[in-house]
Structures are given as C-alpha cells and as structure tokens.
A and B are shown apart, each in its own frame.
Chain A
C-alpha cells in the first residue's frame, strides 16, 4: 500500500487563562537580544505524517495523539492560518521552520511512537516530520523578514520558508530522506608524489600529515601484508577507502592525542633551558598518577578506559570524565552542545562494565554576550551561542535525568571564534556485580558477539573526529553537526544497566568519535582481533557506502560484547525496553581488524598497525615571556563604584537565569546546590552529593578555570586551575585524602606552520602548563585519572585568525565523610570573618585589570600573575580548614577568585542578605589594590559563630589566618583599610548589579 501524507497542525488556545507561551518567549527574546518590540507572536506546530492511514482516520483521533484538546486547537489537512476564527487578522510576517531531511527530528520520532500506539497498522515505513510556524503581528518598521528568519533557524540543519502580508502563507511539504549515493569500496592509489599524498589527505578530510601518509604508504609496500591481502581478495598494494578512512579516524588528533604524545624540543629563552621531552602526557600526567597509584588503594582504573575509576567505599566506585564539543557547538550551538553532554554520559556508561551517570558539570567559554564589534562570516553572535549551547545542555541533561551540579561560564573576546563547551559527567557503579565480577574490569573473549545498541547509523556525523582536528573555516561541512536524542539514549541506558546487573555484558564502550571503527577497534585490542559485518548494521537511510557506515558518528549508540550463551537474555531485554540491538561483529584472536560488507572483505588491518602504527610527531617549542603593558590603576579611585561595576562583569555576574534552568537535584542527592543562601541565589562553590539514598556519605564535585592568566604565563594558568578546583572542594569540607582530577586542555594549534607562525610559542605554553599541572597535582596529591585535549581551537587564517587563550579546565571529584558537615558561601548572622591564606601583590591578568584596561583607565593587564610558590603550605591550611568544617564548627566558607576579596565578601553578603564590616589591612606586602582586587591563590574567606571561635582558632593554629571583621545586620558592606572606609555598598545595590547583567530573559517572568 502506498503512503499518504497527512498534515496536522496545532496551536495554543488563546484567552480565558490560556496563552501562547512559545510565541511569547520568542517575543521576549527578540526584545532582550535585539531591542525589538513586536506586537504579538503566535506559534503553530505542524506534523507531516507519512503512513498508510487516511486523513479522515487521522482526523478522528487527532486529539488523542497530536493535540491536547484542553489547551490546543487542531486542524487536519488545512492551515490554521487560513482559519479566520483563530487568526482573524492577516499577520505582518509568517516564518515556518522545519528540519532538513535526515536531521534528527525528536518531536517527529516521539509523534511516530504515539501514532503507532493509536494506529498499529501505520505501516513499517511510516514517518513523521515536524515544523514550527511563527506568526508575527505588529512588527516594527525596518525589521526584515529574512533577518527575522535568520534569527530563528540555523541553515545548516533547518529549512525555512516565510511570507509577508499579502503573500501566500509558507507551506512546508513532507520531504522523505533521500537515499545516499552508495559507492562500492574504492582503491586509493598511494604510489603518488608527496604533494599528492598531502592533497589526498586534505581533500578527503583525513587530517593526516605527510609522514603519516607515508607510513600508510609503506605499510602497503610490505610483501607480507601484500600476500595476506591477496588471500582475502583485497587490493594487494593499496588501501581501500574503508581502510584509509578507518586509519584516519583512529590516528586522528582527536583519538590519538598526537600532540600530547609528541617528541618536543623545548627552549626557554628566559632561563637558557634546552631540553627534549618524550611525550607531555607520559611525562607530566601519566607518570605522576601511576606513582601516586602505588601509594593508595583507591585508584581502581586510570587512563585506559572511557573514564577513570576510584573506589568510593567498599560497595561503590565512582568515575568521572569531561569532554569538549567545541567545533560542533560553533556550527550549531544547540545540537553541538547536546551531543556533547549526552556523548560524555555515554563515556560513563561505557566505563568498566557500565556505570550509571549521576551528575553533570558544564563549563562554557564564550565571547561577551553584549559584543558589539564585527563578527567574521558564518559565526554566530555570542549571545546566540550562549542561548543555543545552554539549551542543548539543558535538554540533554534534564531529559536524561542527570542533575547538573556545578559549572562555570567564562567570557573573553577570543572565544567568539571558537566557543569552548566542556561537559563532564560523574558515574557510579557497584564495586562487584551480582555474579562476583569487578565492575571496573572489562573481560571479553574471542567468540563473544558484538552488538550495536541504540540508534541507527546515518549520513549525519560523518567525519566528526577528523573535522574537530582541523581548524574551523567557512567551508566546514554540515555533516559534522548532529542533534542528540536523549530519550533514545535514556531507553538504552535503562536497558544496559539492567543487562549489566544481570551479568550479560563482557565489554562495553560508546560510539563517539570514529564510530564503529573506533569503538570495535579499541575493544578488539582486548582479544586481539575482530570481524565486523557492515551489512548487518541498521541504517537511517539506504545507500551508505562501506566506509561511511564504519566511521559515521551517529549518536546514541553503544557497542556491547555478549557471550553467546547470554544472547537470548540480552536480546529479550532490548526488546522489552524497545531498544534496537543488532549483532554486527564478533571478537576474534586473529590479530586483524577484519571488515566485511555482506560477502566481500572491504578492509583488513593488523590491530597493532591500527593502534600503534602512527608515527610520533616531532615538534619545536620556544618560550619567550609575552610583553603586556602594565596594569597601572588610577591613584584616586572610588572602590564602591568599582565594586558594583565588577559585580556586573559577565565573568563575575550571577548566571542564575541560565543555571536555574538545569535540573540540579534530580536523583534527590544534591546537598550543596549551585545556589545557596537565604534567597537561594548566592553562589555555590562546589557540588556536594549524597548518592546513596538514606546515607550521608558524600561526593564532592568542583572545577577550576582561569584562562586569562595565560596572557602572562600558561603555567600560572594551569596552577590556578588546579588550586581553584581544590579550593572549591575544600569549601565543602572534602576529604583531602581521596580526591582525583581531570585535566581538560583546550589549546590553539601549537604546531608551527605557515598558518601558525607562532606555533613554537603556543607549544611552549603547553609545556609550561603541563609542568605546573604536575607540580601542583603532586603537591596536593591529586592524581589525574582521565583527561582530554582539543588542540585546534582557532578560527580563520592569516591576520584575521582568532585563537582562543590556552585554557585548562581542571575538574575534581572527591570523597566527603558526611554531607551534613559542610559549608555554603552565604553569611549567617553573628559570624566573625577570617581569611585563610595570604594576599600578595598579584594583579596581573586579574579581572579588575581587564576591566580598567578595557575602559582606558589602565594601560594594560601586565604585572605579577597569581602563582603557587609553596603549594605544600597551602595544602596544610586546607587540611586544617576541612577538619574544622568536618567537625561542624564552620558553616560558611567561600573561595576568593575573580575579583579577589572585594568580590568574594560581596557575594557572601548577597547570599546571606546581610551586611559585613571587614578590614583588609593585614599582613603581607600587597598594596590596597592587591589586597582588595588581587586574585592570589590559596585564599578562602570563612565565617565562624562566636561560640565556635576558640575551637576554630585552635584548629587553624600555625596556618595563615587573618581576622577580617564581623557580619552585621546593617544591610551594608563596609570595607576598611585601617581607619579609612574604602567601600560602602548596600546589599540591595550589590544584588541588583550582580544579578542584572546576564539575566537576558527580556524582563518578563
């Protein structure tokens, strides 16, 4: 029977308590972002149903599936806009947006599921696509419809139609997904000149350099290899496109971390140092962690799995992973960020034999949301990037039922070219499964069946790994963009955790970068071989070529190995959960990565060559300290008004509007939330969880990031990130004997070339950052158990090139003895205030230095950047403070970071809605600017009730501690420098300044 396409439209009823909130939101957003006041915006949701069900039949059940009869009007096979009862006036403009065919349409998928509940006979090919129509009335003059349409859609993934008054209404038609152009496996001739090898790599988006191409060329010249290929019916002396693509994915910077593994010749022009470094990763990250592993029994699994695992107690282990999704988020902020968050959730699900994600952290770096300067072609305005990324992470996290417990948003002009989207997830698993196996150990055997579970493979997501290893240009391909499908993933997650507990899984990993080629390829190392049949892989559209199926990064897929005897139980579980699970491969012990497509062998690569064949890069590094004009603040300054200006700075201002839209307490475990205090709007320093219901045993999650210190020294930047993460955790009363870290580097391209003439300097920044990372991690005893690097964060070329500031996000998770014994940053009545740590004259690259140089009140940001000369001493005072917190005598603590003591105390007053009087005149050499605004590391402001003072002082004896002042009930913050009143600011003014600048809701609630 042939398919019929039926159109259904719904629109909210208006009046008598009913309103069109979706339309109202668009109206408010246009007002907030563009200052455009539109009379009214209404919305229509459209469904195009292709099935064997007639329009009459659909119409008879339309209120059972598509429309909610209480709040919506529906129409079948007609346009709402033509109904004069609903739309009595002809609108000024109409904009209709639908997805391009092949782009994930989540509402359409859900609608199809609902449709099949009512119409089981809809037909196996039934499909639903959706669209959204916005109807504008009262559009001010000068607003063009094409501009309006551009604000509402993304041309990479969506199609748009629009009309003006008097024109025919736009009509989106059902467009079936076109079959892809199948091409039989091609043979790629590598017996060509070096230039042609490079061209092959560039034109094929392979992102392989000449030496790598030559290594592949040499492989196919090996007579033994040639003989084995002949036996399989493969071209003897040349790769198939399947093989070349597979190598490009596996050897990509994204998968192999070639820069961190490189041999580096490093010169320091300051000190005269001239050294060779064999792999930054092995030297500064792996070695220290492995040495620390010798000293403790709680590091269960480091580096080799999808995330690092620690023993939390005798029954449970915890794991954590942070990922970046920068390039996709630049092209499609919403889809890119959503695939980022649901992707890192899969890393957790793919750890050991499967861990359950229990918390997310999100850290974003964007251009300033109020940016008024020029924007390069094809880049979105930072406010749109912010909205899109936020929405993607919100939907991805909330719909998956994983709380977002901690994070940050950092702003700098240079992130306009490439936003950074760091998504982290913590997972939890039983130490042992019911069958006695340790859950952090994978144990597949040759003969196990390999299933692909979850979504299907489509044209979307081809070349993500290699694409992210290239810089972003105007020609960047749209196939690298995808939209996540949290519900498909959630069903898969439910099913896999049941399969794990039933003992059905021997090995599991996620399908991320590189698709099946990476996931099965990596797992095949355990048994030393695999055989994949691409003909079995379920596809979203027909006609995909072999190499496309192998490397496609289509989302929501896990690769799971199952013993043959467990197959019936595994398939039954998949069936119950309505999850597609397909047997696509077998583990072998042949030493080969063998790929067939039906009857034909299309690739055969030795496992060893695939994983260890990539040649080591040799790179040059040279450090010359950057020259920055000095930070020279005006002699006379009104620090009260500076405080209000500082509180409104995007880097400091409250992100409440954004963060409150994340579910931060699903699972009912979040004991310290992102917002604290009397009005629940003060800043939380770290997340604190009690993951086992009924128990007070806790887990701390925190982050540290300070990219602008790289303008002076990337080493100091790295040290500051680690210290900030630890400091934040200390503020919750973390158990410092069990903390673990994640290093997540985002760098501009550090390889010197024609397009990167300053590559040596950028690499030297990386060397310095790694050295400081190692030094501080050793001193604090924070093993780095998992990490990630993203090394091509540049946009454009030549003079217009924008490179991000070298950025290290340091994420930390650690043990907590009892979540009741913790602190929050809000001041409580009757507390005395103390400073742990000391203020030094360190104003270089501080937030105040940027503010005053941007406004012309200072020449620049140069000066001493905060450093950690003696981290061992900091650790001792952190230990004393956590002891005090764990004994319940301290209930208030807040770390000093951007904006120094002045901003920290202001935030504490905001959280407590009370005043304070403090004196910043204390020990140390720093001047007033340094003591007020300097960002010296290792400092925490603490509030202690009268009755606990003595015990607190005894606990802190011998550590750097300065009495600062008292909490007052005056409603005013007073900051003194000896006898001089430097700052006087009402709490209400501080609240307005701090909460106003990033609110962007359009003012309506």
Chain B
C-alpha cells in the first residue's frame, strides 16, 4: 500500500492533443501527473519505471496518416519495447483514450497477451459514415471484466470525437475469444434501455453506435485487465457542467462528473497494489 500519490506519466508530443486535460483529470482523481514528451522515454532521459500509471491521450499523432495511431504506435513498439514490457510485467495500469487506444491496438498491447508480444491483432478503421464526428454516446460496462479501470461502473455518457473508431478483428473467432475473456470492457448502448441491460451483440444503428463498430465495441482491455483502451473520452465528462444537458435541470453543486470514476479506479488500484 503506497502512502504517496501515484505518479502518472501522460505522454505528449507529435500531435497528441488531450494531454493537458488527461493530466488534470488524474490530478483531480488524487494522483500526481506529469506530461512527458515521448522522446524523453525514447532517448532514455526519463524512465517509465519511475511512474505507476501510463496514459496515452487522444489526439492526432502524426496526423493519423497511414492509419490512426500507427506511426506513434511504431515509435513505441520499436523504441520503448523493453520499458513497456517491464511496465506491464510490474502490474502497472495503462490507459489509451481515442488516439491513445488506436496507438495501443497498433503496438499490439491491446487486445494483447498476458506477456506482451507486440503483435497487432485488431484494428480501428474509418467510421462507416466516412466522417469525423463529435457527439455524446452512452456506454455500458461488462461487470465481469477483469479491467481494473472500470470496476463498479454500469453506465456513463461521454463524447466520441473520431473518424477512425470502428473496431475490427480478422474473424468472429477472435471476437468470441475476446468476449469469453471479458475483454470487451465497454460498448455503445441505446440510452433508452435500462442501465445494466443495454449491452448487445446486435448491430446498433447510427448514431447510437457512432462508427459501425463490430458488436458495438467501444473499448477493450488486455487479459490482465491492466491495459485499457477506449474510443470515447471519459476525461471530457470530468465535470457536471460539461454534460450537454447540464442546463436542463437546476444548477449542480457538484462539480466532478461521472467520467471521473475511471481515473479514480486506477489511482485507487495503484495505491492499493503498487
């Protein structure tokens, strides 16, 4: 059980955009966070093992040319391979949000293996609409998932902001395996359904499922549940006043919103286990 605040490394550089808010939200969740340029890990000036949590934020790393997250994924896959393996082996949580999720999928850390082999097994491709869009979605979480980031969360609302968020795998068997391991952590659901009963394999229509993702998949974890990636932005729902309906009721005294729980979970996990 650690007594000090867990330290979070929030990657930035090369077109990562959401580093400031991701760092801020971890701080609000009780961690000490630092934005660290990717190259500081690559050139060895900083050591990933000094941190307890790693966040790969959203953005447009390298302009998403050659496929979203691919070029930053390559830098990490080839230049940070050992540091990342050691980080995972040490049981430390990693989150990738939006572009960060794409990066983790393309490095092979997601869906991944117990011991990372850096093989890409899935991809995130262009939305069926062909358009980048910013819109709020409803997410529901697998209660049986090993994911340490989502414990106790049933449903939240937060925005998606992407053009390449359609999760695909080469075959149905791959998806079934993911499902059996409860690695399909979160999916887009119809907000009209009862909380806890929204998850379905049936293809949900646009815009409930904003990108045509197979089985409405919004986020997955690795088999250990420590590495988590998702397309939607929970950090953009960190405050009550960021919810598009905040003016439809009375003024809320509470400032922190439902997106916070994901970050609190990781901070608490790190405090208890690292």
Give chain A's interface residues, CB within 8 Å of chain B. Answer: 12, 16-19, 21-22, 24-25, 28, 64-66, 68-72, 106-107, 109-111, 113-114, 117-118, 394, 398-401, 486-487, 490-491, 494, 576-578, 660-673, 675-678, 680, 690, 693-694, 696, 819-824, 826, 828, 888, 891-892, 1001, 1004-1005
Contacts and interface: CB of A to CB of B under 8 A. Distances in A.
Contacts of B78: 117-118
A110 B247 contact: no
A68 B247 contact: no
Contacts of B269: none
Contact of A577 (B27, B39, B248): B39
B127 interface: yes
A399 B65 contact: no
B66 A114 contact: yes
B134 interface: yes
Nearest to A107: B65
Contacts of B58: 666
Interface string B232-255: 010110111110111110111001
Most chain A CB inside 10 Å of its own CB: which residue of B78, B132, B134, B207: B134
17 contacts: A21-B126, A65-B74, A70-B170, A71-B168, A117-B74, A399-B60, A399-B64, A487-B14, A487-B60, A576-B43, A577-B37, A668-B239, A671-B241, A693-B238, A694-B27, A891-B248, A1004-B129
Interface stretch (B117-125, B182-190, B222-230): B117-125
Given A661-B131, A665-B159, A676-B247, A671 B242 contact: yes
A69 B122 CA distance: 9
Nearest to B71: A114
A823 B247 contact: yes
Interface in B69-98: 70-71, 74-75, 78-79
B152 interface: no
Contacts of B170: 70
B134 A696 contact: no
Contacts of A666: 17-18, 21, 58, 161, 236
B156 interface: no
B244 to A, nearest CB: 5
A822 B74 contact: no
Interface of B: 12-15, 17-18, 20-21, 24-25, 27-28, 37, 39-40, 43, 58-60, 62-67, 70-71, 74-75, 78-79, 106, 120-123, 125-136, 159, 161, 168-171, 206-207, 214, 233, 235-236, 238-242, 244-248, 250-252, 255
Contact of B28 (A110, A398, A486, A694): A694
Contacts, number: 204
Contacts of B171: 16
Nearest to B205: A1005
A668 B252 CA distance: 18
Nearest to A45: B66
A490 B15 contact: yes
A400 B70 CA distance: 18
A487 B134 contact: no
A678 B243 CA distance: 11
A16 B171 CA distance: 8
A576 B39 contact: yes
Contact of B12 (A494, A578, A665, A677): A494
Contacts of B70: 68, 114
A668 B161 contact: no
A114 B78 CA distance: 11
B134 A663 contact: yes
B123 A70 contact: yes
Contacts of B21: 666-669, 693
Nearest to A105: B65
Contacts of A824: 247-248
A491 B255 contact: no
B247 A891 contact: yes
B75 A690 contact: no
Contact of A680 (B40, B169, B214, B244): B244
Contacts of B43: 576
Given A19-B128, A64-B74, A694-B255, A113 B62 contact: yes
B248 A828 contact: yes
Contacts of B128: 19, 21, 1005
A820 B254 CA distance: 10
Contacts of B134: 660-665
B18 A21 contact: no
Most chain A CB inside 10 Å of its own CB: which residue of B121, B123, B214, B244: B244
Nearest to B129: A1005
Contacts of A486: 15, 60, 63
A820 B241 contact: yes
A577 B25 CA distance: 25
B19 to A, nearest CB: 9
A581 B96 CA distance: 31
Contact of A675 (B66, B79, B244): B244
B13 to A, nearest CB: 6
A668 B37 CA distance: 21
Given A494-B13, A660-B134, A694 B24 contact: yes
Given A107-B66, A491-B14, A666-B18, A17 B168 contact: yes
A820 B251 CA distance: 6
A661 B132 contact: yes
Contacts of A668: 18, 21, 24-25, 233, 235-236, 238-239, 242
Given A676-B247, A690-B239, A888-B251, A21 B130 contact: yes
A401 B251 contact: no
A562 B183 CA distance: 51
A279 B233 CA distance: 50
A197 to B, nearest CB: 46
Contacts of A66: 66
Given A107-B63, A660-B133, 10 more contacts: A107-B65, A113-B62, A113-B71, A494-B12, A666-B161, A671-B242, A680-B136, A690-B239, A693-B238, A826-B248
Given A117-B74, A891-B247, A576 B130 contact: no
Given A68-B123, A118-B74, A400 B63 contact: no
A40 to B, nearest CB: 14
Contact of A491 (B13, B75, B131): B13
Contact of B15 (A399, A667, A821): A399
Contact of B62 (A21, A394, A487, A494): A487
Nearest to A912: B248
B158 to A, nearest CB: 10
A820 B240 contact: yes
Contact of A398 (B74, B132, B207): B132
A263 B271 CA distance: 71
A22 B129 CA distance: 10
Identify the 7 closest CB pairs spanning chains A and B, nearest first: A401-B17, A110-B65, A693-B24, A25-B130, A21-B126, A668-B21, A70-B123
Contacts of B236: 665-666, 668
Nearest to B37: A576
Contacts of A111: 65-66
B238 A110 contact: no
Contacts of A400: 17
Contacts of A401: 15, 17-18, 59-60
B241 A819 contact: yes
